[in-house]
Structure formats: C-alpha cells, structure tokens
Amino acid sequence: MKTFSTDDRESATIRSGISGLMHRREPSYIGHHRLVILSVYYIALVLLLSSNILGISGAFHHFFSVSNMLLLVTASVVMAAYLWRRIEIVTTLSLMTVATQLSLSADTLYSAFEPAMGHKYMVIIINMLLLSGNTIVGLSTYLTRITQVNTAIMFVTYTVCIITTNNSTLIDYYFMLFVVLVFFSFLGFHIAKNARRLQVENTELRRDESELMQILRLNKKQIRAYVRLASDRYGAEHTRNLLDILGETSQKNLLANVAEFMRISDTEKSRIDEIFPELTTSEKSICQLILRGKKLGDICSLLGKTESNVNTQRAHIRRKLGLATTDNLREALEERMTQASDR
C-alpha cells in the first residue's frame, strides 16, 4: 500500500511540474490550451512519420519516404525554434500544420498522377482523412486563417485528383466533401471569435479580481472565507475557523474599507438627494449607479429590477430632467452635479 502511495505522489509531482512549466511558458488559458495540443500533435506526427519511414505502417513508396523525412525535419526545426523562444506558439502551430498539409497534399497528388501506383484510390481516400484531421488541429487551436488555408489546400487537392483520375467513386463524394469543408471554415471563424471574446472577458475578470484583492488587502482564500461566512449560516466553531482564515489584520482592513465605502456612498446619496429633488428614491438609486459607470445589466442585478423596469425609470429621469432620447444620460447627470458643486 505504501509503494502505491509513493508512486501516486511521484506521479502527481511530475504532472504538477509539467503543468507548472507549461503555465510559465504560456500563462493565458488559450496559450496553455494551444501548447497542450502542440505537444500531443508533434509527438503523434513523429510517431506516424517514423513508422512510415521505417516501413512499419502506411503506404510504402520512395516518394512517400522522402516527403515524410522532409516533413519530420521541418516539424522538428519548427518545434526547436519554439522551444528556444525564436517563434511564438501561433507561428509554430501555423508552420507545422501548413507544412503537414502541403506534404500530405503532395503525397495525394503523386498517387493520382502516378499510373503505376497500386491501390491509388485507397491512398487518396486515406490521405483525405489525414488532411481532414490536420485541418481539425487548426480548428481546435482557434486559428481561423490557418483552418481556412488548410481547408483550401484540401479542396484543391481533391479537385485535382478527380480531374486527373476521373474516378466515379471520388466524384460521388465531391459535393459531400465541399459541404464539410465549408462547415470547417465557418466553424473555425465562429470558434476563434468566441475564443477572443472569452479571452477578453477572462482578462477583465482577472484585473477586477486583482483590484479587489488590492483594495481589500485580502488573498483569494480569505475572500472565499468571507463570502462563505456572509452567505451561509455556520455553527460557532465553523465561524471561528473562517475568521481565523481571514486573520485579525485582514478583518480590520476589510471593516475599514467597507466603512469607508458606506461613508462615500452615503455622501454621494445625500448630494443626489439635494441636486435632484424632483426624482423618486428609486430613480435616484439608478442615477447613483449610472454616475458610477454601471451598465444596464449591473443596475438590474444590484437593484433587483428587470430591464424593462429600469428602462422605464430611465425614461422618467430623462423626462424630468428635460433630456432628449439622444442625450447621454450619464454626461447630463455629471454636468448637473458639476454645476451644483460650482455654486
């Protein structure tokens, strides 16, 4: 039992070390994801190419052996350039997948043009599957342009094979392949667009998290403990444990920051009450949040109101302040607050 426990710890240590190394090299989520795909892709490429060069698996021909050797050298040089920090991961994946696509395309076209090639149609079909798999690598790493380039290479290759061989079986699958390739291109664009949006949102969340921890002078563990303490009911012992996680200094800092925020909020509310007496209490609360730069969704969440309710009250605010629908409400509120301060 002890031996298994030691092995498990060693395995966990190795995995943790590899994961830490990858995160240091590619700290962003998408970068880390691309690095994992690149590592697996390169290993698979080396194994497949080596097995064919050594005569273990695949279609055996002098042309294929030479092209596979060239691809193996190219992929290794590109990988070495990445490891030595000469090129970025996007460039690495782009060069490696396009080189693989061109090599497979050359093998496929050679099979179509070579009259003496045995089982040429099987070689063409299998290579088309490999071309599809290579295209998916670009798709899975959010590289829209590379996905479209590899898709175009695949389509041109199959078209030339049909024209050259005039084989009825290849012709029968032409339209099906065309639809699949169009779908690949669309999917690549859509996935990359969503990935960029998620990356931006993730960066903003990390920045907000960092600012929050800096303001409250708490770490993640302490913030989680405070949230649990505030949201649930615990026994005396559990409560003491959570407070211990916060620490005495952090508790004092947190209370001081909350007190300061409440003081500023009350002062702001008093000024709004004084400057906008014509507004209702609910409308003043909305104005306060608008002045803080809050968006519609944030206002609804903070006040517990629906979007239609908030929009209706915003319309009432505009009407009471004599604003047109084209006027910027926040700028109008800030201008009136400034004018009141100058008096």
In sequence order, what are the residues at sequence separation of 6 or more whose Cβ sits closer than 8 angstroms to the Cβ of residue 58?
A: 48, 51, 52, 64
> Is there a domain that residue 239 lies in?
no
Last residue of one domain, picked from the residues 162, 190, 206:
206
Whole-structure pTM value: 0.56
33 and 117 within one domain: yes
Residue 264: other Cβ atoms inside 10 A: 10
- Determine the structural domain holding residue 279 and report its residue range: 259-342
> Is there a domain that residue 218 lies in?
no
In sequence order, what are the residues at sequence separation of 6 or more whose Cβ sits closer than 8 angstroms to the Cβ of residue 163?
A: none
43 and 173 within one domain: yes
30 and 117 within one domain: yes
Q: State the pLDDT at residue 288.
A: 85
299 and 151 within one domain: no
- CA atoms within 13 Å, Cβ hemisphere of 108: 26
Q: State the pLDDT at residue 336.
A: 84
> Is there a domain that residue 251 lies in?
no
- CATH (domain of 335): 3.40.50.2300
The count of domains in the chain is 2
> Is there a domain that residue 215 lies in?
no
> Is there a domain that residue 243 lies in?
no
Residue carrying the six token digits 């859509």: 190
92 and 27 within one domain: yes
* Signed CA dihedral, 54, 58, 61, 62: sign only: negative
The tokens describing 285, both together, are 């609360």
**CB–CB of 119/59 below 8 Å?**
yes
**CB–CB of 138/188 below 8 Å?**
yes
Q: What is the pLDDT along the chain (343 residues), one digit of tens a residue?
A: 444 455 555 555 555 556 666 667 777 778 888 899 999 999 999 999 999 888 888 777 888 889 999 999 999 999 999 999 899 999 999 999 999 999 999 999 998 988 877 788 888 888 888 998 898 898 888 888 888 899 899 999 999 999 988 888 888 888 888 888 788 777 777 776 777 777 677 777 777 667 666 655 556 665 565 555 554 555 555 555 655 655 666 656 655 665 556 666 666 788 888 888 888 888 888 888 888 888 888 888 878 888 888 889 999 999 998 888 888 888 888 888 887 766 5
> Is there a domain that residue 230 lies in?
no
160 and 37 within one domain: yes
171 and 67 within one domain: yes
C-alpha 166/C-alpha 146 separation (Å) is: 30
Cα angle at 84 between 88 and 16, to 5 degrees?
85
Angstrom CA distances, 13 to 1, 5, 18, 36, stand at 18, 12, 9, 18
Last residue of one domain, picked from the residues 206, 229, 248:
206
**CB–CB of 336/323 below 8 Å?**
no
57 and 173 within one domain: yes
Residue 45: other Cβ atoms inside 10 A: 22
Residue carrying the six token digits 């009407």: 319
> Is there a domain that residue 12 lies in?
no
At CB < 8 A and 24+ separation, what contacts does 207-215 make?
215/257
263 and 194 within one domain: no
Last residue of one domain, picked from the residues 206, 238, 271:
206
**CB–CB of 105/131 below 8 Å?**
yes
77 and 180 within one domain: yes
C-alpha 97/C-alpha 149 separation (Å) is: 10
> Is there a domain that residue 193 lies in?
yes
93 and 200 within one domain: yes
80 and 169 within one domain: yes
**CB–CB of 216/254 below 8 Å?**
yes
